[in-house]
Amino acid sequence: MSENRGSKNKYSPVDYETNSSANLCPGCGHALITRALRQAVSELNLPPEKLNVVAGIGCSGKTVAEIKANGIHTLHGCAAPVAMGSQVANPDQEHILISGDGDSWAIGSGKMIALLRTNLDLLYICENNGTYGLTRGQLSPTTKIDSPTRWGMVSDIPPVDGIGIAMVTGATYVARGFSARQELLVEQIKGGILHDGLAYLEVFSPCRTFNDHEGSHHSYKYCQRHAADFPKISVNDIEADYPSDSELEHEFTYEEDGRQFGLEFDNLDEMPEYDPTDLNLALKTWEDYWTEQIIPLGLLYIDESQKAHHERFYSEEDDYIATLEPEETRPSREDFSIILDQFR
């Protein structure tokens, strides 16, 4: 995060704060994700009214209260369909979905698959703490084998691998973050918002109250100890950050509200074997780490060549359905008569 950026921006992170509280526990990883999200949207200069934040149920979903945006707090496991309907109805809005590990991969698992298949243009943030915090610390679908709950319960059922599923099922931007690594997270969120398609960002987000104890595989300590570096990205406002060097080559460029942004990989030279645009390689590498219980942090996979879901429904001259005037939604008398002809 460079210091000079704020000056060019109309918004600062404070502008995305609200006067309501999500009532999270002190030290909750989710609060740090909210902080990073506010930072990211301010750096992208996105007006709060342009943001549609769709939230599921659980500690993660509650954070929608603390983000100044058009929020919609949905049902348990059901943020995905609501986001799909909303995004398709008005793709001009920036859509961010906030969910947790239970909300996504237990009760919402079928809907996750359906969402990932579509390459809907939105950022999906899965706040993974490996427990059901809001009901006081039960096993979750991402609880690791041999990782006891605070109450000593251990699962011998293998956890759901959300990252692996996302890559196999069709997400076109797959990243892994850690709530304690703010700088990385901010860039990952920015990249995910700018990405033209479905960005799945799973954030390791420890639950201080129920899953940060000794022996837990979802604690701050555990993640610090097992983290490994993966491709790091930075997302920059091209004009603001490279005033004298706008010819610089960027890995990917995006336009947002008339501003140009570039996405770069910071440390690919340190991992010459890796290519984040190669799905097979990304999958294989990920699975190796998964087996060895290493937690890679970074952008694992990106593909900017796929069609976003809403493009299936609109041609260039079409207005988005949510923006139509009421009278434009009904066929004319002439059309009505033509329709009736087939029944006459």
Residues that bind other proteins (CB under 8 A): 19-20, 48-52, 54, 64-65, 68-75, 78, 80-90, 92-93, 110-111, 113-114, 313, 318-319, 321-324, 326-331, 333, 335-336, 339-340, 343-344
Tell the smallest beta-carbon distance from residue 176 to other proteins (Å).
Answer: 26
Q: How far is the CB of 30 from other proteins (least distance, A)?
A: 16
Report the amino acid identity of residue 125: I
CB-CB neighbours of 229 under 10 Å: 13
Q: State which residue, 48 or 148, has the beta carbon closest to other proteins.
A: 48
Q: Which is nearer to other proteins, 27 or 331 (CB)?
A: 331
Alpha helices in the chain, H assignment, sequence order = 5-8, 29-43, 59-62, 79-89, 101-105, 109-118, 162-169, 182-194, 220-226, 238-241, 279-291, 333-341
- Could you tell me the CA-to-CA distances from 254 to 7, 154, 306, 317 in Å, in that order? 21, 45, 15, 22
Closest to other proteins by CB, 221 or 330? 330
Closer to other proteins by CB, 80 or 193: give it. Answer: 80
Q: How far is the CB of 98 from other proteins (least distance, A)?
A: 12
Nearer to other proteins, 33 or 83 (CB): 83
- Minimum Å gap between C-beta 92 and other proteins is 7
Angle between the N-to-C axes of helices 162-169 and 109-118, in degrees from 0 to 180, rounded to the nearest 10: 40
* Residues 6 or more apart whose Cβ sits within 8 Å of residue 3: none
Angle, helices 29-43/182-194, rounded to nearest 10 degrees: 50
User: Taking the complex as a whole, how short is the minimal distance between the CB of residue 262 and other proteins, in angstroms?
Assistant: 26
Write down the least CB distance from residue 336 to other proteins, Å: 5
Q: Measured from the CB atom, is 94 or 127 closer to other proteins?
A: 94
